[in-house]
């Protein structure tokens, strides 16, 4: 075979191999879609078989059928009269919420139980009330000292004796508590400890063993039980050692509580805690009084502080709230900026002096401070009923985190707002923080998808993560997407994708790595003049450019590439697994954008006309919605 023929054959072989690669990717895409549809089909079939009440038990252990569980909803147990009396006299409550009575009866019956219930639905009562009605004391394991203090403040206000042991406990206090654990006349009904205390204090374990043998240890409650699992969003290593409790005290019922665990996380927790056949009760994730909204942060001139301060001073005047931020430095900076704008705010983060943290917490709880500007250190279990707003200055690292953090609003069942500010640059700040976590990137991108979304009910996006089939009618216009209607268009971004991929490919050939900022600027024609001649630049606005790059990252045409130094972690963009699909001329990519200020029924984008889809506008009932407002403009090809 001559050289020309060999070159022709090799060229044809390369073409076939490239085509095979594209076909393989298309097959992978179809298999992914098949798996997703199969999963949804199973959920829908299960929903048809389940009772209509979404608060029915889910995933109950094999030792008890659903029919048998029904009797635990009754009030004919030997302890029922005492429960009712203490509910009214001590806790000042007239009735139980959904699942509370069933969970309490199961715990009082000595059953091991996992309770999955939304933030603010009254999980704490499910071990506090049984503790008051039982001999001895209940051991409560909590992950944060702030959570402990919050519960102790509340219990003290209703005259329920409770104590705690943690790293900041004085020697005198610890000695007193340890002595009273085995004293039949000891006044306290609840003992709060951190998981670190269980893991590291042999003296505490020794006292617990003596209390167990004396019949004084009535139950174990593991709050925020999802922290046990590496697949949970708040994994804590010391939680993995809590299996010792059930191994050492097998006759003591264990109650695990969480607002956010999925079925796979609960299975992991079951193994870690050495609970062979727990009963699992799951309430619907939906809290109807919370309004969910996403607002954009401009990556160049971030005026979110001005927007937040205006909201607090106008819409939430004299109302209590939380502003969550990304870092300890952000907590201090944002707090100081809000103070300058006349907002009564204080910062809260893990690196503060314990006394200062407690002081901020107490002042906020008693309404002497209107707003706490906090990292996630101010979090789990915070039980202030009248929080009217939770604002995220930066997106959370996962949907689970966001659901739990935003859920601190509206615990009194009155309307409250959950607003997240979504900025392009924040994606990559957080990405470098979660790079070492199991599925950290995957969870972050799901949160980004929640924020980028303009066509699906916010609750429907959250529901996917809690294994719940969602009907959009259940939102009742309590999110910005449902309230403002299906006012969006479907835009073809295929040519845009090819342009961006070309930029990343070119960098690769030059042995360069590009940050998202560099890719953005190169596409907008702000790079070196020599480089601009080699790529197709765009006249799209910066917001549109950032939205398209984000969409390509979410859809797998771009991917993350990290570089580690002794001091920091850098985020770069590289080609994703779907990038080769763009070589196929018939392959197209679309994304949905908010339709803003468009009068015509069609919009010209790139090289084709795209019809506006489902343009039905509902009259907005709340001002200030600017979630993903990306006006679509014509792309003008530059001659360079």
Identify how many contiguous H helices and E strands the chain contains and give both numbers.
Answer: 23, 19
CA distances (Å), 100 to each of 109, 255, 410, 466, in order?
Answer: 14, 13, 19, 20
The 8-class DSSP code of residue 479 comes to B
Q: Which of 102, 111, 123, 246 is catalytic?
A: 123
> What's the rounded Cα separation, in Å, for the pair 382 and 147?
6
Backbone torsions φ then ψ of 254, nearest 5 degrees: -115, 135
- Cβ contact 519:550 at 8 Å: no
- Which contiguous run of DSSP H or E holds residue 292? strand 290-297
- Cβ contact 545:516 at 8 Å: no
CA triple 234-163-101, angle to 5 deg: 70
CA distances (Å), 102 to each of 91, 97, 192, in order?
Answer: 18, 10, 24
Backbone torsions φ then ψ of 563, nearest 5 degrees: -130, 130
- Cβ contact 192:148 at 8 Å: yes
Percentage helix, strand, coil for the chain under 3-state DSSP, each rounded to 5: 45, 15, 40
Closest CA to 255 of 231, 237, 281: 281
Closest CA to 108 of 76, 156, 60, 62: 76
Return the beta strands (E) in 123-173 as ranges.
137-141, 162-165
Which position has the token pair 């798996």? 35
Which position has the token pair 């022709």? 8
Q: Is 123 part of the annotated catalytic residue set?
A: yes
- Which contiguous run of DSSP H or E holds residue 590? strand 590-594
Joined together, the tokens standing for residue 401 give 């985190």
Residue positions annotated with a catalytic role: 123
């Amino acid at each position: 075979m001559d050289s020309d023929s060999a070159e022709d054959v090799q060229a044809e072989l390369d073409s076939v191999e490239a085509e095979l690669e594209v076909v393989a990717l298309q097959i992978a895409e179809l298999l992914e879609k098949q798996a997703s549809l199969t999963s949804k089909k199973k959920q829908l079939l299960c929903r048809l078989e389940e009772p209509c009440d979404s608060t029915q038990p889910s995933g109950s252990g094999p030792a008890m059928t659903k029919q048998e569980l029904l009797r635990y909803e009754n009030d004919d147990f030997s302890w029922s009269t005492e429960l009712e009396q203490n509910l009214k006299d001590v806790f000042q409550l007239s009735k139980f919420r959904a699942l509370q009575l069933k969970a309490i009866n199961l715990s009082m019956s000595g059953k091991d139980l996992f309770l999955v219930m939304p933030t603010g639905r009254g999980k704490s009562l499910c071990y506090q009330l049984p503790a008051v009605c039982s001999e001895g004391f209940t051991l409560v394991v909590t992950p944060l000292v702030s959570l402990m203090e919050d519960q102790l403040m509340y219990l003290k206000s209703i005259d329920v004796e409770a104590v705690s042991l943690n790293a900041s406990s004085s020697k005198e206090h610890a000695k007193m508590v340890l002595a009273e654990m085995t004293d039949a006349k000891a006044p306290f009904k609840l003992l709060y400890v951190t998981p670190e205390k269980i893991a590291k204090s042999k003296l505490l374990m020794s006292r617990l063993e003596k209390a167990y043998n004396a019949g004084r240890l009535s139950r174990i409650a593991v709050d925020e039980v999802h922290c046990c699992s590496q697949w949970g969003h708040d994994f804590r290593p010391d939680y993995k050692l809590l299996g010792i409790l059930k191994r050492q005290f097998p006759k003591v019922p264990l109650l695990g509580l969480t607002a956010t665990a999925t079925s796979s996380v609960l299975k992991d927790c079951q193994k870690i805690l050495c609970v062979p056949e727990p009963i699992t009760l799951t309430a619907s994730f939906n809290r109807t009084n919370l309004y969910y909204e996403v607002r954009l942060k401009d990556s160049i001139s971030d005026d979110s502080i001005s927007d937040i301060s205006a909201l607090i001073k106008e819409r939430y005047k004299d109302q209590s709230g939380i502003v969550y931020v990304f870092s300890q430095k952000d907590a201090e900076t944002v707090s100081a900026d809000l103070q300058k704008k006349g907002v009564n705010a204080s910062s809260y983060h893990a690196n503060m002096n314990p006394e200062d943290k407690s002081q901020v917490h107490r002042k906020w709880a008693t309404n002497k401070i209107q707003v706490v500007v906090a990292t996630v250190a101010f979090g789990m279990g915070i039980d202030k009923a009248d929080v009217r707003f939770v604002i995220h200055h930066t997106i959370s690292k996962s949907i689970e985190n966001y659901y739990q953090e935003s859920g601190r609003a509206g615990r009194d069942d009155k309307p409250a707002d959950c607003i997240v500010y979504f900025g392009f640059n924040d994606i990559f700040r957080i990405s470098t923080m979660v790079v070492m976590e199991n599925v950290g990137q995957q969870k972050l991108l799901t949160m980004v998808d929640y924020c980028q979304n303009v066509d699906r009910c916010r609750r429907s996006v959250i529901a996917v993560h809690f294994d719940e089939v969602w009907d959009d009618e259940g939102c009742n216009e309590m999110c910005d997407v449902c309230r403002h209607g299906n006012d969006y268009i479907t835009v073809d971004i295929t040519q845009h994708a090819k342009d961006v991929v070309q930029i990343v490919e070119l960098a690769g050939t030059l042995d360069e790595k590009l940050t998202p900022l560099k890719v953005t600027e190169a596409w907008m024609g702000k790079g070196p003049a020599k480089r601009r001649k080699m790529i197709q630049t765009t006249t799209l606005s910066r917001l549109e450019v950032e939205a398209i790059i984000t969409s390509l990252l979410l859809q797998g045409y771009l991917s993350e590439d990290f570089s580690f130094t002794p001091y920091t972690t850098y985020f770069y963009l590289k080609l994703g697994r779907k990038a080769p699909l763009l070589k196929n001329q018939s392959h197209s990519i679309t994304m949905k954008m908010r339709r803003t200020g468009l009068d015509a029924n069609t919009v010209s984008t790139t090289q084709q006309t795209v019809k506006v889809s489902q343009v039905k506008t509902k009259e907005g009932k709340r001002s200030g919605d600017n979630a993903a407002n990306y006006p679509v403009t014509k792309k003008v090809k530059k001659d360079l």
